A and B are shown apart, each in its own frame.
Chain A
Amino acid sequence: MTLVLLALATWAAGWALASRLANGPGAGTRAVRLGLPLLFGGTALVMWELLVRGLDVPRAILPPPSAIALAFGQNLGTLWADTVQTILKGALTGYALGCAAAVLTAILVDRVDVLRRGLLPVGTVMAALPIVGIAPILVMWFGFGWQSKAAVVFVMVFFPMLVNAVAGLRDATAMQRDLMRTWGASPRQALMALKLPAAMPFIFNGLKICSTLALIGAIVAEFFGSPTVGLGFRISTSVGALALDVVWAAIVVSALAGTIFYGIVALIERGVTFWHPSQRP
């Protein structure tokens, strides 16, 4: 009971500190912008630990963060092998191939008007479909290895990326396109000098959306069959063994990988589209 009260006290203290910081004089500074979310996360972790211990939640239902950290440390080697299998081989390969294919298709679609009018609505519908459903089929075609995961990721990222890239290639205004024409630019020159740079914010938006889709695709595909390594495999077998601390450790790994992946894309975006209003301070 004391622990539960302590948890509530932690929450109150965290909230008081956070509102003090958010409404105080230093609210706009970088330190506060970074510190507040960390404070929130830290408070949530402490509350989780205290509540789980205070209410005697069984380990098989919700392990406390300390147990998860312990499992994470003990299984570092296994989890690293899983990461290599699922993320570096499966997700990244499919992501790179899928996004590249989508951008190339978008360039073609942008060139041919009939394709744009016909393929774009179909692409929009496809982007909204539960594409994870093709995972069992692709696992059947490409086997249990990482190739089938890459194939699932490829199909999952293709349509969202295509829709974004096509929208981006059309973002250059009529005035700008006219300017290209008056200069006598060839279609290729217009593409390289105007359309592709103008499309970059959209393309990076698509890349960011697809970075999370890629992880989801690779993990879900492992539910349908995998070698005895991989994050999805680890999660589904550990759930079966009720080793929930290992499951949470695997989830921490995928969350870390997802955040890092997203962060890298966002960093590259800042370098490439420094001119865009959303990137200016």
Chain B
Amino acid sequence: MRGKVLPVLAVVAAILLAWTLAAIPMNIREVLSQAEREGATVQGGTAIERRDASALGLVLANPSLALAGWSQERPRLPSPHQVAIELWDSTIAEEAFSRRGIVQSGEFSKKSLIYHGGVTLSATLLGFAFGTALGILLAVGIVHSRTMDLSVMPWAVVSQTIPIIALAPMIIVVLYSVGVQGIIPKAIISAYLSFFPVVVGMVKGLRSPEPSQLDLLRTYGASAAQTLWTLRLPASVPYLFASLKIAMAASLVGAIVGELPTGAVAGLGARMLAGSYYGQTVQIWAALLTAAFLAAGIVGLIGVAERRVLARMGAPA
């Protein structure tokens, strides 16, 4: 464990450092234009000449001004501390101290990332549940029916070469026109993205018992259903968990993308889209990081459940 934590921390620190440093040249042009408007002398020529000059050269020519790249209001690349402050402001601070927050108004603030994250998370979980159930059912069908195996499985593969996300705007608009809206369309997109890993993993898992084990159940005269319950399903659990992790990540992507094309007002995808329209880069990054934490969090939870369940089932530690 310790041999792992230190290198990971070092890599994360290196990424943060590189990010912080990159924020200076990325923002230098805006910084210089702003400084010029305020009357400072700027090296590196006029605004037009600066547009074609290299960013690094501009930083070296104006070392005293360049550090302002860390405190721009709408930076091209916000530095990590700006994103951290935005994250704090739009979660804990918004909920605890603002009059819209949960402490004073009794419900989550519409401006807080906790609220938006919750909206996206509920669609993710619902779609994940649909997708997993559908995937397991399909896998059971494929394992038991040769016809389904030969005719459906290739299409399950083809369905994944279709960029499903291209369907997202249409699914949402069409469902809206028949009166279904809110969480369901997003959940359907999530389910579509998450069923495939489950199908593939479960088919492999349900077929993982050895021939000798299957033979044993045949000598006991077990029916197909009994074989499924006592042998195939327990044997497929490790495969199921591996696919669940992939499916959960795919499901979150589906929920976020489902919020993009419809002008949704709530959810992490909506925050990103609004941030992109109004140039609020810090807001985009904060929403992105929230999505990252969410994904890492739930996948981690599945990992914990996996270890518990497999330990209970007697897997070697």
- Flag A240-261 by CB within 8 Å of B: 1 or 0 each: 0010100100110011001101
Q: Which of B87-95, B102-110, B157-165, B211-219 contacts A (4 or more CB under 8 A)?
A: B157-165
- Nearest opposing residue in chain A for B150, CB measure: A36
CB within 8 A of B295: which of A130, A219, A247? A130
Residue B232, interface by CB 8 Å:
no
In angstroms, how far is the closest chain B Cβ from the Cβ of A26?
12
Q: Are A136 and B158 in contact (CB under 8 A)?
A: no
User: Which residues of chain B come closer than 8 Å to A139, judged between CB atoms?
Assistant: 276
Q: Are A117 and B4 in contact (CB under 8 A)?
A: yes
Query: How many angstroms from the CA of A152 to the CA of B101 in the assembled complex?
Result: 35
Q: Which of B30-38, B129-137, B245-253, B305-313 contacts A (4 or more CB under 8 A)?
A: B245-253
Number of interface residues of B (CB under 8 A): 61
Query: How many angstroms from the CA of A271 to the CA of B165 in the assembled complex?
Result: 31
In angstroms, how far is the closest chain B Cβ from the Cβ of A113?
9
Q: Which of B201-209, B221-229, B235-243, B286-294 contacts A (4 or more CB under 8 A)?
A: B286-294
Query: How many angstroms from the CA of A242 to the CA of B11 in the assembled complex?
Result: 48
Residue B61, interface by CB 8 Å:
no
In angstroms, how far is the closest chain A Cβ from the Cβ of B110?
20
Number of interface residues of A (CB under 8 A): 60
Query: How many angstroms from the CA of A135 to the CA of B146 in the assembled complex?
Result: 42
In angstroms, how far is the closest chain A Cβ from the Cβ of B34?
18
For window 143-181 of B, CB contacts with A under 8 Å fall at: 145-147, 149-152, 154-155, 158, 160-167, 169-170, 173-174, 177-178
- Flag A103-134 by CB within 8 Å of B: 1 or 0 each: 00000000000110111011001001110111
Given A129-B249, A261-B161, A62-B8 contact (CB < 8 Å): no
Q: Are B151 and A18 in contact (CB under 8 A)?
A: yes
Given A254-B163, A259-B161, A130-B151 contact (CB < 8 Å): no
CB within 8 A of A258: which of B163, B246, B257? B163
In angstroms, how far is the closest chain A Cβ from the Cβ of B79?
14
Residue B7, interface by CB 8 Å:
yes
Chain A interface secondary structure, helix, strand, loop or mixed? Answer: helix
CB within 8 A of B169: which of A60, A125, A239, A259? A239
Q: Are A23 and B146 in contact (CB under 8 A)?
A: yes
Q: Are B161 and A251 in contact (CB under 8 A)?
A: no
Q: Are B166 and A235 in contact (CB under 8 A)?
A: yes
In angstroms, how far is the closest chain A Cβ from the Cβ of B90?
16
User: Which residues of chain A come closer than 8 Å to B9, judged between CB atoms?
Assistant: 118
In angstroms, how far is the closest chain B Cβ from the Cβ of A118?
3
Query: How many angstroms from the CA of A32 to the CA of B296 in the assembled complex?
Result: 44
User: Which residues of chain B come closer than 8 Å to A232, judged between CB atoms?
Assistant: 166
Q: Are B166 and A122 in contact (CB under 8 A)?
A: no
Q: Are A22 and B281 in contact (CB under 8 A)?
A: no
Q: Are A133 and B151 in contact (CB under 8 A)?
A: no
Query: How many angstroms from the CA of A250 to the CA of B167 in the assembled complex?
Result: 10
- Flag A84-120 by CB within 8 Å of B: 1 or 0 each: 0000000000000000000000000000001101110
- Nearest opposing residue in chain A for B245, CB measure: A128
Residue A223, interface by CB 8 Å:
yes
Given A19-B147, A130-B256, A132-B257, A114-B165 contact (CB < 8 Å): no
In angstroms, how far is the closest chain B Cβ from the Cβ of A136?
3
CB within 8 A of A136: which of B7, B10, B284, B291? B284
Q: Are A40 and B275 in contact (CB under 8 A)?
A: no
For window 253-268 of B, CB contacts with A under 8 Å fall at: 253, 256-257, 260-261, 268
Known contacts A41-B155, A239-B261, then 12 further A-B pairs from the complex at CB < 8 Å, ordered by chain A residue: A23-B146, A23-B147, A36-B147, A36-B151, A37-B151, A60-B177, A125-B296, A130-B256, A136-B272, A140-B276, A235-B170, A258-B163
Shortest Cβ-Cβ A-B pairs, 7 listed: A118-B7, A136-B276, A258-B161, A118-B11, A40-B151, A37-B154, A128-B249
13 contacts between A and B (CB under 8 A): A18-B147, A19-B147, A22-B146, A41-B155, A122-B12, A134-B288, A136-B284, A137-B281, A139-B276, A212-B160, A220-B257, A235-B170, A255-B162
